Structure 1
């Protein structure tokens, strides 16, 4: 049985195939075992991990859902190559090679800059402004 999933973090959609076996023990108790590639695994609705980003915030669809909605399955994105932070640039002979700087993403700058700005602002207030108000 095919079990469809969607990652709630990166919105990746995929399917995994499971085999459900119902067994009866010597006491007459029935149990179910989920198998994937011949290996016993947890039921599909517990502990699923996104193969795209590794998140565990995953939801599942009813069985057969993706076969009725094939537009949800996107082609896998090619693995992006990491961009180097510094790239050498060809220079005329006799000069030291120059380096072209690549800008960092804005979110990274905010993530680093906001705490630094708060720290500097607090230190400025504690050393300059607060002593003036106490005298």
Structure 2
């Protein structure tokens, strides 16, 4: 590699899963060789990484469904940045709560889905069995 220079770039991102917005800083080394071939090497905190458009994951939820904004977008729209971290619960004042009775827990989503799909299927199958038994007893 012959010629080259470095530039610093900030890329704003948004997670399409949890809607978290953040900004990542990169150093880009622009290099070219004696034959005129050019290559860009992307660094984040001094470590070589993939370019930001090729699979950035969300630091909040880990999803790879992210999108980027134009450079400088978040400085013009600071309302999109994440709000400050909430205070720990230990710092909040404690107020007594009156007991109102036992708390019912909600069934996990997978069990609710099984019930929501299973009950109509069982009703349909039961009806078909009933029709077949009734129809066979009438014809005999």
Does the alignment pair 1:25 with 2:23?
no
Change (3 A) 1:28 1:121: same
Structure 1-normalised TM-score?
A: 0.70
Q: Identify the match of residue 73 of structure 1 among 81, 98, 109.
A: 81
- Gaps of at least 5 residues in structure 2 are 1-8, 87-101
Q: Where do 1:100-119 residues align within 5 Å?
A: 100=102, 102-104=104-106, 110-119=112-121
SS in 1 for 2:58: coil
Structure 2-normalised TM-score?
A: 0.68
Q: Shift in Å at residue 133 of structure 1?
A: 3.3
Provide the rounded CA distance (Å) in 2 between the counterparts of 1:39 and 1:16: 13
Residue in 2 that maps onto 1:133: 135
- Gaps of at least 5 residues in structure 1 are 79-99
Greater than 3 Å deviation, 4+ residue runs: 105-110
Aligned residues: 116
Provide the rounded CA distance (Å) in 1 between the counterparts of 2:39 and 2:108: 53
Provide the rounded CA distance (Å) in 2 between the counterparts of 1:31 and 1:55: 28
Residue in 2 that maps onto 1:89: none
- Summarize deviations over 1:67-123 as a string: whole Å, max 9, x none: 111110122666xxxxxxxxxxxxxxxxxxxxx554216855642321221332243
Provide the rounded CA distance (Å) in 1 between the counterparts of 2:107 and 2:84: 24
SS in 2 for 1:28: coil
Provide the rounded CA distance (Å) in 2 between the counterparts of 1:4 and 1:43: 13
SS in 1 for 2:62: coil
SS in 1 for 2:52: coil
Q: Shift in Å at residue 34 of structure 1?
A: 1.0
Q: Identify the match of residue 40 of structure 1 among 42, 48, 55.
A: 48
